[in-house]
């Protein structure tokens, strides 16, 4: 390995990785800060200590990730957001490069130089279209740090020196302080050795697995002492969500959902899902035939290798098993960042063990797959750029128009929690206002008047309470009259639905006229209720939080609840209603009606 690492071809390959990374993600480096990023910035404004506290003892979810504070130290520098995004990109390139090196270091069976398949596996990780979230959302940077350091720790184990082992443990400790999801690395190393034990030094790697395992155990003990348990995400009762782990859901998401997302790498593929999935299946079949992968089932050595490489991938998903899910808009992509790196290393080693003829034969299918993923990735980054524009334009608009609102006025700003899988505001609205010098909550509120139905009843709407919305890039509209009209909407509903008792989530499909300007949704309830409404236009394969609004019922007019207008596009809408736990069972039905003309004007 030492001699190959100095090969000039390796340096050119590294430059190629960097260049491709800049081509794929370069247009998105200027998106700035989004959603939860503003919470980290607010903590840093109080000092480095509060930032570390936000990443450790004062964290929610409960975590120990102080290493990721390094990136946030760039924020006070001029152009700090761009520098942080550039750092994230280089961390992603480094992780992809390490995927390549870990495949190449195994080498082909005949001992030749690093194969094309090693390079292609690294490039596939670099261009994977499911990974826009960890690369472009700065709050997800811990996944980049942890994965890169963990892969680097494995790479150092190849050096038969005390420095290699010491360096490996040091990098692994850093990875654990970046994110806990790599705690299973010792088990992964052991699985990789079992898969390749005929060609790798047994004593050193087994010993190294034990040393890394001791480091992982020390980390887990410290975490238990600090949090009084595993920490992580907590449920409503304050327990770790790991206590409610559902094995069936985990296996379904791992065995069905994740492969389906890889077959359908475009966000919101819509009516194109069938040809895209068909092409993906055909490409994988082509790859399997060219590599003659049926050999795995017929030769004991290949079966053993395949089993342990799959076991390594399965082990990499265990820390995120309770929350493992990637929705149709690739929300949750950060959860599979480390597992996909492990999986591609395994795929590369499986292909690298093939005879020379078979290795050459799989190059063409892998190149086609890479090109397809590059196109899909370029499309998937658009939503993050749109999220960046919404945040930037919203802050600019509020700064420019702050003087027109009197101190006693409340202005509701219609903004997205997420947009096509890109987090826009989430928990960061008030912190973002504070960062640009606007005092939060005076008079600004994020959301719609569906969260303040009392304004429809007490006459304050249009006098001291207003609704504004960003209707297009750079265009804003006053939607106050829309909500005033919604309060008096009448006429037969487009659709009515009964709601089953004791269910928190409900989905409905509504036929609409393609020319209909807007629809409104009303919830029938005898008691106050609250929750979220989601909706999708036709052509989307499944319901997801592309459009998401919070609501609560009108305490003075129980049984009638006006929700935000929905632009009519296409022939039907798919609507989802999620009720808060205390509201489950309180709703008897839902009505969808044509909204008044005032709601259709921009």
pLDDT in tens, 317-375: 999 998 888 887 888 899 999 999 999 999 888 887 777 777 777 788 888 889 989 99
Chain position carrying tokens 């928990």: 427
Cβ proximity of 424 and 418 under 8 Å: yes
What confidence score (pLDDT) does residue 142 get? Answer: 95
What confidence score (pLDDT) does residue 345 get? Answer: 94
What confidence score (pLDDT) does residue 283 get? Answer: 65
Q: Predicted confidence band at 286 (pLDDT cuts at 50, 70, 90)?
A: low
Chain segment 117-155, per-residue pLDDT in tens: 889 999 999 999 999 999 999 999 999 999 999 999 999
Share of the chain above pLDDT 70, in %: 76
* Residue predicted with more confidence, 490 or 381: 381
User: Alpha-carbon dihedral of residues 223, 225, 229, 235, nearest 10 degrees?
Assistant: -80
Cβ proximity of 33 and 41 under 8 Å: yes
Kindly give, in sequence order, each residue whose CB lies less than 8 Å from that of residue 369, ignoring residues fewer than 6 positions away: 124, 283, 287
Share of the chain above pLDDT 90, in %: 30
Give the torsion sign (CA, 473, 475, 481, 485): negative
Report the run of H or E that residue 549 belongs to, with start and end: strand 547-552
What confidence score (pLDDT) does residue 172 get? Answer: 95
pLDDT at 269 over 70: no
Cβ proximity of 220 and 172 under 8 Å: no
What confidence score (pLDDT) does residue 122 get? Answer: 95
What confidence score (pLDDT) does residue 547 get? Answer: 57
pTM: 0.84
Burial of 539 (0-12, 13-18, 19+ CB in 10 A): middle
Q: Give the ranges where 412-494 is alpha helix by DSSP (H).
A: 429-435, 454-457, 480-486
pLDDT at 295 over 70: no
What confidence score (pLDDT) does residue 450 get? Answer: 66
Q: Where are the beta strands (DSSP E) in 331-464?
A: 410-414, 418-419, 422-423, 444-446
Cβ proximity of 177 and 55 under 8 Å: no
Comparing 92-106, 527-541, 543-557, the range with the smallest average pLDDT is 543-557
Question: Which of 193-207, 338-352, 564-578 is modeled with the greatest confidence?
Answer: 338-352
Cα–Cα distance between 324 and 254 in angstroms, integer? 8
Q: Which strands sit side by side in the sheet containing 444-446, from one edge to the other?
A: 444-446, 410-414, 465-472, 475-478
Q: Which residues of 41-71 are buried (b: 16+ CB within 10 A; e: fewer)?
A: bbbbeeeeeebbebbbeebeebbbbbbbbeb
Comparing 134-148, 181-195, 240-254, the range with the smallest average pLDDT is 240-254
Cβ proximity of 440 and 434 under 8 Å: yes
User: Alpha-carbon dihedral of residues 113, 115, 119, 120, nearest 10 degrees?
Assistant: 180
Q: Predicted confidence band at 518 (pLDDT cuts at 50, 70, 90)?
A: low
Q: Predicted confidence band at 560 (pLDDT cuts at 50, 70, 90)?
A: very low
What confidence score (pLDDT) does residue 311 get? Answer: 94
Count of positions (residues) in the chain: 602
pLDDT at 402 over 80: yes
Cα–Cα distance between 381 and 72 in angstroms, integer? 22
Q: Predicted confidence band at 114 (pLDDT cuts at 50, 70, 90)?
A: low
pLDDT at 113 over 80: no
Instruction: Compute the mean pLDDT over every residue in the chain, rounded to the nearest whole number.
Output: 79
Kindly give, in sequence order, each residue whose CB lies less than 8 Å from that of residue 61, ignoring residues fewer than 6 positions away: 231, 232, 233, 234
């Amino acid at each position: 390995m030492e001699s190959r690492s100095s090969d000039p071809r390796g340096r050119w390959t590294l430059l190629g990785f960097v260049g491709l990374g800049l081509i794929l993600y370069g247009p998105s480096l200027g998106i700035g800060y989004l959603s939860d990023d503003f919470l980290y910035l607010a903590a840093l404004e109080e000092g480095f200590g509060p930032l570390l506290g936000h990443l450790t003892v004062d964290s929610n979810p409960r975590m120990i990730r102080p290493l990721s504070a390094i990136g946030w130290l760039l924020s006070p520098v001029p152009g700090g957001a761009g520098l942080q995004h550039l750092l994230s990109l280089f961390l992603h390139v480094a992780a992809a490069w390490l995927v390549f090196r870990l495949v190449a270091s195994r080498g082909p069976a005949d001992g030749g130089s690093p194969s094309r398949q090693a390079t292609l596996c690294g490039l596939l990780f670099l261009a994977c279209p499911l990974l826009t979230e960890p690369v472009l959302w700065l709050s997800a940077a811990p996944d980049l740090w942890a994965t890169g350091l963990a892969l680097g720790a494995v790479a150092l184990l190849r050096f038969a020196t005390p420095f290699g082992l010491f360096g490996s443990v040091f990098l692994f400790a850093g990875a654990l302080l970046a994110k806990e999801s790599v705690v299973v690395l010792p088990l992964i190393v052991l699985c990789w050795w079992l898969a390749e034990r005929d060609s790798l030094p047994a004593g050193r790697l087994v010993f190294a697995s034990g040393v890394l395992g001791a480091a992982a155990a020390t980390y887990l003990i410290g975490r238990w002492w600090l949090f009084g348990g595993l920490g992580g995400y907590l449920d409503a009762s304050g327990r770790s969500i790991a206590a409610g782990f559902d094995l069936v859901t985990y296996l379904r998401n791992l065995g069905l959902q994740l492969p389906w997302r890889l077959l359908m790498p475009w966000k919101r593929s819509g009516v194109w899902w069938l040809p895209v999935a068909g092409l993906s299946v055909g490409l994988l079949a082509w790859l399997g035939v060219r590599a003659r992968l049926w050999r795995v089932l017929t030769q004991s050595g290949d079966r053993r290798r395949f089993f342990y490489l799959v076991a390594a991938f399965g082990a990499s998903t265990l820390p995120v098993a309770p929350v493992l899910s990637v929705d149709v808009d690739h929300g949750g992509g950060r959860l599979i960042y480390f597992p996909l790196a492990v999986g591609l290393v395994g795929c590369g080693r499986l292909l690298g063990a093939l005879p020379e003829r078979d290795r050459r034969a799989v190059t063409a299918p892998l190149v086609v797959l890479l090109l397809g993923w590059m196109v899909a990735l370029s499309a998937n980054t658009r939503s993050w750029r749109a999220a960046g524009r919404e945040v930037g334009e919203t802050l600019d608009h509020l700064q420019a128009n702050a003087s027109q609102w009197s101190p006693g006025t409340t202005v509701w700003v219609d903004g997205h929690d997420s947009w096509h899988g890109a987090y826009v505001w989430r928990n960061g609205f008030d912190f973002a206002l504070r960062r640009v010098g606007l005092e939060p909550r005076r008079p600004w509120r994020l959301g719609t008047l569906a969260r303040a139905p009392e304004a429809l009843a007490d006459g304050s709407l249009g006098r001291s309470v207003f609704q504004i919305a960003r209707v297009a890039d750079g265009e804003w509209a006053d939607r106050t009259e829309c909500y005033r009209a919604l309060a008096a909407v009448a006429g037969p509903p487009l659709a009515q639905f009964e709601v089953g008792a004791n269910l928190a989530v409900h989905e409905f499909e509504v036929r609409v006229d393609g020319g209909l300007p807007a629809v409104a949704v009303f919830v029938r309830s005898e008691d106050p209720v609250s929750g979220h409404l989601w909706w999708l236009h036709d052509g989307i394969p499944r319901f997801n939080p592309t459009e998401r609004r919070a609501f609560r019922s009108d305490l003075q007019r129980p049984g009638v609840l006006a929700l935000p207008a929905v632009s009519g596009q296409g022939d039907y809408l798919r609507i989802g209603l999620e009720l808060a736990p205390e509201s489950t069972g309180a709703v008897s039905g839902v009505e969808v009606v044509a909204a008044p003309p005032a709601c259709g004007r921009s």
